Structure 1
């Protein structure tokens, strides 16, 4: 259902309730479902923070006043607002004017409509015409200085085109690409290509395509090294390894094959002494098609990225060398970004682990002090209780014998031994904790390092 289609009776009733001041906060489920449908059409705003409240939008107020959605297509292809309707009746051919939209016309309409043009659900030819205009506006340099174009609805739905101030967010990834041309003959032979000429088994092509494959590789390697990179042949691998910094990419060129049936020649039949009445069976064998393929070794860390270029009816592999080099450089940049991110993550983990170790040492020392203080308080209280007992025992035994007197003297001596006030040092000595001493304070961290396991 399109957002400008007429509302049903329930939706219209809900819209009128909100227009009358009801925010629907205590409404039932069917009413809220209708409100959600109105929100999807842009007629209501629904706030679910701290409850459930519906408010009327400008489009909703327009519908209440005029009886239809403000985005409903009109009879003209360009409405006075920023919405443009190019929908033609089913079964009729689009008018030629709808299919001819120049880049300048696009820019003019954007400037007339505050930088936004919306083409309501256009037919495929009209949508393609607008997209051609977008491309032409970029290529012809018609955009105002400091602006860029964005559009949504490339294939389906409404096509919304916006003229946005500022640099395109992906502009930093757009580097000018110099076309790499493959000559008809190899001039200066690259050292690796010279080795391949002596060992052609490293490239899986037929003899008819060998010279062309070597010309492509020679051009690719020359341009790759011109950009400050290197390459090498590895004894245990087919093809060539392209090297950029710490990154290595296996690259291989081959020829597409096809299976054909081949009947023996008359000479071969005669040699085999095959009679005319005997049925001859063809043999199947692979032959080269002349279509060359350049592939990068598959690695899961580059999943989703292009890794294969080949001859096609509309282009040749030679014309794709610029894209191959761009992909190699993009992978190298991605590897470098990942390497830096990994180093930063390792440094962050190291810092967090060191901070956790420092906190663990502090907590360990605090627990040692708390334990010593608790023991001192217990000793002090115990010594005071022993002395009080000795005083009471001595008072009760006025004619105490020698045994009682000796017991009281020993008890007072013991009280002096456990009384911390009789000491000269109160703060306990704290030695360097062992790893097992810190484990209770480290949580998920190991005392042996950020990447160590218990």
Structure 2
């Protein structure tokens, strides 16, 4: 059952109070993402917020964004022709496609793969999967305030990396001091950092699997050795008291 508007508003007040009064754990921050219909999911993310001053992209990490929808990556081209995705004003749709094309082109230049998104998402969104070292990360673009009647708010976009099982933040918004075009370098850097973490997790899981296999094989060999020892031990045969005795 979806929470009521009053319940959602109360949770927002609690979280905002905690942030204002410095009640977040050191080195972490409270993040929230939509959950279900009207619900919200809260979790603790590591590190500073991506919109914080320390997380702003530098010129060296910038990603070129094309000015025209030409020579598109095949995945972006399919998305462009799909009129059931990225349902938003035409100017915002064009800008969203340019952002995705910039990400796709830079990802390919860095040796990564770009695939179509197979999971379903909202029709107002559009996205691509960027694959780094075998790990796929879905990046979507959507209008931040589609219902707003204020031109400045309704023109804002959001770029988001599906958080999956990670607690890392993965959402960037248009802001007065920085546009999404300037944040694409940070977006790709976040994907690459996640791939490094996921590779560590995969290597750790593989090490644990090998250790379990070694222990299992050792247990099997020990059981076999015990069985061989038991079968080769001399057996003592007791004679019944009346064996060989002839009654008169």
2:129 matched to which residue of 1?
241
Report the aligned-residue RMSD: 3.2
Offset of 1:313 from its aligned partner? 1.8
Q: Once the two structures are superposed, what CA deviation does each residue of 1:281-340 show, in whole Å capped at 9, x if it has no partner? A: xxxx999621110111231x212x021111112211111111111111112222222222
Matched, 1:289 2:177: no
For 2:220 and 2:129, locate their aligned partners in 1 and report how far apart those are by CA, in whole Å.
Answer: 44
Native 8 Å contact 1:206 1:255 kept in 2:
no
SS in structure 2 of the partner of residue 293 of structure 1: strand
Give the C-alpha shift of residue 250 in structure 1: 1.8
Equivalent residue for 1:326? 189
Contact 2:161–2:170 (CA under 8 A) maintained in structure 1: yes
2:81 matched to which residue of 1? Answer: 198
Whichever of the two has the greater Rg, that structure is: 1
Counterpart residue number, 1:340 = 203
Alignment of 1:272-421 (within 5 A): 289-299=154-164, 301-303=165-167, 305-370=168-233, 373=234, 375-376=235-236, 379=238, 382=239, 406-407=246-247
Question: 2 CA distance for matches of 1:192 and 1:253?
Answer: 14
The aligned counterpart of 1:265 is none
Superposition deviation, residue 366 in structure 1: 2.4
TM-score (norm 2): 0.63
Is 1:252 paired with 2:140?
yes
CA pair 343-236 structure 1, distance change in 2 beyond 3 A = closer
Distance in 2 between residues matched to 1:177 and 1:312, nearest whole Å: 20
- Report Cα offsets for 1:370-404 as digits up to 9, x if no partner: 4xx3x32x53xx59x889xx8xxxxxxxxxxxxx8
Are the aligned partners of 1:205 and 1:288 in contact in 2 as well (CA < 8 Å)? no
5+ residue gaps, structure 2: 1-58, 122-126
TM-score (norm 1): 0.36
DSSP 3-state at the match of 2:145: strand
Distance in 2 (alpha carbons) for counterparts of 1:331 and 1:367? 54
Higher relative contact order (CA 8 A, sep 6+): 2
Superposed displacement of residue 358, structure 1: 0.7
Work out whether residues 258 and 287 of structure 1, in 8 Å CA contact, stay in contact via their aligned partners in 2. no
Alignment: residue pair count: 185
Indicate the residue corresponding to 1:23 in structure 2.
Answer: none
| Cα 1:355–1:286 shift into 2, 3 Å | farther
Q: Deviations over 1:88-129 (max 9, x none)?
A: xxxxxxxxxxxxxxxxxxxxxxxxxxxxxxxxxxxxxxxxxx
